[in-house]
Amino acid sequence: MTPIVAFLLLVAILAIHAGWRGGAPERLAAAAMLVATIATSLTNMQVALTFRDVQWSIVWIDAALLAALLAIALRANRFWPLWVAAIQCLALAAHAARAFDADILPLAYWWIVGKLSYPMLLLLIIGTERHHRRCRHGHRDPAWSLASQGRAPSPQHETTPGP
């Protein structure tokens, strides 16, 4: 099994996991990551990527994923999406660094762009499991922050702190 197929399977399994146990932010982030992974894989199938130059097709996919993750992070009543968006921002910064400095080793460029997704997936798992644990213990865990809905917090909307 090639590493690309293995990674696709991993992301698909985690997306199913987030869909099963996660709230709306977890499901949306997982779907965005899955779509980006599939798009990147299709890009890799069309052209053999050497990472000797900026991979513009991947830049646009990464930029779209960053936009989706930022939208989720800014509205979600969770902390983990901010970290995932920040890591995705690092991947986009690697593309920019490669565009400005052609002397960056292709292996370093490939490693940064390709391997930053693993901590993002780990954060998705942690966020999904924490949401599931809060719900299992009977705590309210609203998906979206009240500020993102244009409402001020009130005592009846406060969430009981989790364990």
Output b/e per residue, 107-136; b: 16+ Cβ within 10 A.
Answer: eebbebbbebbeebbebbbebbebbbebee
Distance, CA of 53 to CA of 47 (rounded, Å): 13
Distance, CA of 95 to CA of 134 (rounded, Å): 38
- What's the predicted TM-score (pTM) here? 0.85
pLDDT for res 17 = 97
pLDDT for res 85 = 98
Two tokens, residue 152:
């001020």
Neighbours of 78 (CB within 10 A): 25
Would you give per-residue pLDDT tens digits along the chain (163 residues)? 688 889 999 999 999 999 999 999 999 999 999 999 999 988 877 666 677 888 888 999 999 999 999 999 999 999 999 999 999 999 999 999 988 988 888 888 888 888 999 999 999 999 999 999 999 999 988 999 876 566 665 554 445 444 4
pLDDT for res 102 = 84
Two tokens, residue 59:
């830049």
pLDDT for res 82 = 97
Show contacts of 157-160: CB within 8 Å, 24+ apart.
159/77
Distance, CA of 37 to CA of 13 (rounded, Å): 13
Two tokens, residue 142:
């609203």
pLDDT for res 1 = 62
